[in-house]
Structure 1
Amino acid sequence: MKAAVINTQTGGVEYREVPNPTIQNEDEVLIQMLAAAIKHVDRSRASGTHYSSTKKAGDFRIIGGDGVGLLADGTRVYALGVGGMAAEYAVVDKDRMVTVPQGLDHVIAAALPNAVIGAAMGLRFRADMQPGDTVLINGATGFTGRVAVQIAKYYGAQKVIATGRDPESLKTLLTLGANEVISLQQSDEAFIAQIQAVHQLTPIHVIIDYLWGHSAELLFLALKGKGNFTAQTRFVSVGSVAGDTIALSAANLRSVNLLLSGSGLGSWTREDVKKLFTVILPEMFQLATNDKLHIETVTVPLAEIESIYDVPLTDGKRLVVTLN
């Protein structure tokens, strides 16, 4: 079969012939692929740099960890792959797939779930977001951040604050449900002052962070208390686009009612993942079908993956490889 692979010797992406995948046990099923989204996590896992990557024998890795395809009976499903998904066929786990609604385009169905996972899992299971909460999305101008703004509003956030660098993208977030936007393209002092003003007026209950790095340090400084009682803030790290490590003082942690956690592979319970496939994804697919959840994509046929794989996407779009 044809597939998009990372050559583990050169690090480059290639469109080439590879062996057909085979089912290893009764919990797996083969699907004919229609579309596979390519995300940051797919690139890092394929190259072996992600913390969940495992070393495999051979000279290539098929890219793409999830996508949409057809079962043998013609049912269209979204699924997580046992192996790579940017290929003509893929093997998936039977208990990690969701039927795609008839009215939902398979490109949207392939692109949306990873962002839902990066937003809803943190909001629901790590931050325990409640209706009426004030939610701050740090790094909201990316694809997942835009989805997080919409999901937070759908889950009943009273106020959604979005941070980011791109002025035009920040303006767009106001049309997607954000009540206020704060630019990261200002001095540290000005950014901290804006966060503190918001926090004083309406305590920030939840922070979903896609950046980490320096902006996370600033957020912790903005929340720092002075020995008085403070409202609880649940800070959830989902991404680390701006750096994997930060400086955080113990005094900062002791001065505020702060719950710090992460949301990612390995942090969720089996019950959380079960709810993802039985409740959350079907619900979000229906919202998208009803035009109440909006995303933007860039599509490329599998055979042309080499021409666009290394081209940066702007304005919060997701790259989707199509096969039919």
Structure 2
Amino acid sequence: MHAAVVHSFDTPPRYDTVDTPRPEGEHQVLVDVLAAGLHPRVRSSADGTHYTSDGTLPLIPGIDAVGRTPDGGLLYFVAPDDAPGTMAEQAVVDRRRAVALPPDTDPIAVAAAMNPAMSSWIALRRRVTLPSNARVLVLGATGSAGRLAVQIAKHLGAAHVVAAGRDPERLALLPDLGADETVSLSADPDRVAADLARTAADADVVIDYVWGPVAEQAMPALLTARPDRAKTLAWIQIGSMAGTELTLPSAYLRAADLRIMGSGQGSVSTAGILAELPSLAERITAGTFAVDPLTVPLAEVEKAWGGPTSPGQRIVLTPGA
């Protein structure tokens, strides 16, 4: 079969021929892949920088996809840990890591949205309990996951959502998706701190896709302006687009009820993640969240890897030339 294959962590995957994988055990089935999303998580696996990477090459990238079973069923699935990735004409599915989809589901939309939506959906349902009239700050709201996080926070009951990001064009789109206020992270640092203090000092939850210097700047801005420092601020670290480290003075943890946690593989069990997939797939299928996929043939994976996208778009690879 044909697949995207990573031969070096320094170069994009290329369209290549590989052996068709074989299902093993009663729970596995071989499916025809209809659509696989090109997510940041996929990119980090393909360049060897993700924390789960073991350095093994060659590899087929792709962590999830929509596929069709031999009996015609439609599935969204997360690839088994010990199986090749999903950017291929066929893939092995463990039915325990799959969600059945209605026959009229748009595979492209589900492949585009499930992974980026999953990060905030799981964070807000598994890592914290949103209080009544919750106020949420999304740091990194101009990325695909952040854009969906704004919508998901609102959908799950947040009364007030502040969207903070760097890209001005993408930031301007977010009020139409549910953001009550926006903050530019590309302004002068003092201005950023003042804007975050003004709009989000009373936040209950921060969904953080950036970390690094941005979070290091945002934390004191929020905490020093907080009207009630004993009110819990749940800081959920999901991504590290601005950096993998920050300096955290110990006083922050004593002077306010700041609770820093992560949300991802390991901090949430596989069973916990899988339990959330059916309800999220249902919302995406129903069109609850705005999704803008850019479809690219799998044969053009090398070109797609570095190709530009418009604000809010997610590349989805489809099999065939």
TM-score by length of 1: 0.92
Do structure 1's residue 183 and structure 2's residue 179 form an aligned pair? Answer: no
Encode CA deviations 1:289-316: one digit per residue, 9 max, x unaligned.
3332111111111112122212243413
CA contact (8 A) 1:223 1:256 kept: no
Segment drifting more, 90-99 vs 156-165: 90-99
Which residue identity does 2:272 align to in structure 1? D
User: 1:307, 1:120 → 2: CA distance?
Assistant: 31
Secondary structure of the corresponding residue to residue 32 of structure 2: strand
Cα distance change of structure 1 residues 308 and 253 upon mapping to structure 2, 3 Å threshold: same
Cα deviation, residue 63, structure 1: 1.3
Segment drifting more, 46-55 vs 139-148: 46-55
Q: How does 1:154-173 map to 2 (within 5 A)?
A: 154-173=155-174
User: 1:9, 1:123 → 2: CA distance?
Assistant: 33
Identity %: 37
Encode CA deviations 1:158-191: one digit per residue, 9 max, x unaligned.
0000001122211211000111101112111111
Q: How many residues were matched structurally?
A: 316
Q: Which sections of structure 2, spanning at least 5 residues, go unmatched?
A: none
CA contact (8 A) 2:181 2:199 kept: no
Segment drifting more, 152-161 vs 246-255: 246-255
Secondary structure of the corresponding residue to residue 305 of structure 2: coil
Report the equivalent of 2:146. 145
Which residue identity does 1:216 align to in structure 2? A
Do structure 1's residue 8 and structure 2's residue 8 form an aligned pair? Answer: yes
Secondary structure of the corresponding residue to residue 181 of structure 1: strand
Q: Give 4+ residue runs of structure 1 displaced > 6 Å after superposition.
A: none
Cα distance change of structure 1 residues 318 and 251 upon mapping to structure 2, 3 Å threshold: same
Q: How does 1:210-289 map to 2 (within 5 A)?
A: 210-225=209-224, 229-276=229-276, 281-289=277-285
Cα deviation, residue 9, structure 1: 7.2
Q: Which sections of structure 1, spanning at least 5 residues, go unmatched?
A: none
CA contact (8 A) 2:212 2:243 kept: yes
CA contact (8 A) 1:100 1:109 kept: no
Do structure 1's residue 40 and structure 2's residue 40 form an aligned pair? Answer: yes
Q: How does 1:101-112 map to 2 (within 5 A)?
A: 101-112=102-113
Segment drifting more, 78-87 vs 24-33: 24-33
Secondary structure of the corresponding residue to residue 278 of structure 2: helix
Cα deviation, residue 10, structure 1: 5.8
CA contact (8 A) 2:5 2:16 kept: yes
CA contact (8 A) 2:236 2:260 kept: yes
Report the equivalent of 2:115. 114
Segment drifting more, 155-164 vs 74-83: 74-83
CA contact (8 A) 1:101 1:285 kept: no
Cα distance change of structure 1 residues 103 and 303 upon mapping to structure 2, 3 Å threshold: same
Cα distance change of structure 1 residues 10 and 134 upon mapping to structure 2, 3 Å threshold: closer
User: 2:161, 2:200 → 1: CA distance?
Assistant: 12
Secondary structure of the corresponding residue to residue 236 of structure 1: strand
Report the equivalent of 1:54. 54
CA contact (8 A) 2:136 2:162 kept: yes
TM-score by length of 2: 0.92
User: 2:44, 2:229 → 1: CA distance?
Assistant: 42
User: 2:222, 2:40 → 1: CA distance?
Assistant: 30
Segment drifting more, 295-304 vs 98-107: 98-107
Secondary structure of the corresponding residue to residue 24 of structure 1: coil
Do structure 1's residue 209 and structure 2's residue 205 form an aligned pair? Answer: no
Secondary structure of the corresponding residue to residue 147 of structure 1: helix
Cα distance change of structure 1 residues 255 and 274 upon mapping to structure 2, 3 Å threshold: same
Secondary structure of the corresponding residue to residue 61 of structure 1: coil
Cα distance change of structure 1 residues 61 and 251 upon mapping to structure 2, 3 Å threshold: same
User: 1:108, 1:229 → 2: CA distance?
Assistant: 41
Cα deviation, residue 259, structure 1: 0.7
Do structure 1's residue 93 and structure 2's residue 94 form an aligned pair? Answer: yes
User: 1:259, 1:307 → 2: CA distance?
Assistant: 42
Report the equivalent of 2:134. 133
CA contact (8 A) 2:207 2:235 kept: yes
User: 2:246, 2:59 → 1: CA distance?
Assistant: 32
